Amino acid sequence: MNTDEALPAGTLDTDAVLVRDLRAEDLDAMVRIDRAITGRSRRGYYELKMKDALASGAMRISLAAENEGRLAGFLLGSLYYGEFGMPEPSAVLDTIAVDPACRGRHIGKALLRQLVMNLRALGIDRVRTEVEWDQFDLLGFLASRGFEPARRLCLDLDLKSPPE
């Protein structure tokens, strides 16, 4: 789809993107996409994330997007009920990745749009995520989708040199 063409009335730019539930057979493509982005294989990490995402009894909110029959992007998320002293349920966006060859085709936008629709249907009012401070493209994308700095501060403790 040429993104410069005018869309018919009532059509969203994300409508051409097939977004579906994540499947076990998506693992190899997820690792391929992540390697294209990061330059390294994190297969073990994604095997664990996939296991969690597909666990029986778990609320499934992780998604996949296809372009021309191939996995073009994915989103991994989790639901939490009362974590970190927050009494209301919330969702966490762990990972969003789009195949660099498919950028500019509204893949990430379609994944987030579907996630938001799914979470609203479940009565979830908030999605949280963390981003490295120097990932400017990702920060810009998330800001364009309505994300903003949280009122909570994330703290780290370096265990190699803990306070005395």
* Residue 48 and residue 56 in contact, taking contact as beta carbons nearer than 8 Å: no
Other CB atoms within 10 Å distance of the CB of residue 46? 22
**Range of weakest confidence among 21-25, 104-108, 111-115, 151-155:** 151-155
- Total domain count, the chain: 1
Strand 70-81 and strand 89-98: pairing? antiparallel
Tell me, yes or no, if the pTM score tops 0.85: no
- Is 99 a member of any domain? yes
Q: What's the pLDDT band for 1 if we cut at 50, 70, 90?
A: very low
- Is 7 a member of any domain? no
pLDDT at 2: 45
- Is 28 a member of any domain? yes
- Is 104 a member of any domain? yes
| 47: containing domain | 18-144
Mean pLDDT of the chain: 86
Q: How far does the chain reach from its first CA to its final CA, in angstroms?
A: 59
- Is 13 a member of any domain? no
- Is 138 a member of any domain? yes
Read off the pLDDT of residues 22-68 as tens digits, 9 standing for 90 and up: 999 999 999 999 999 999 999 999 999 999 888 866 667 899 999 98
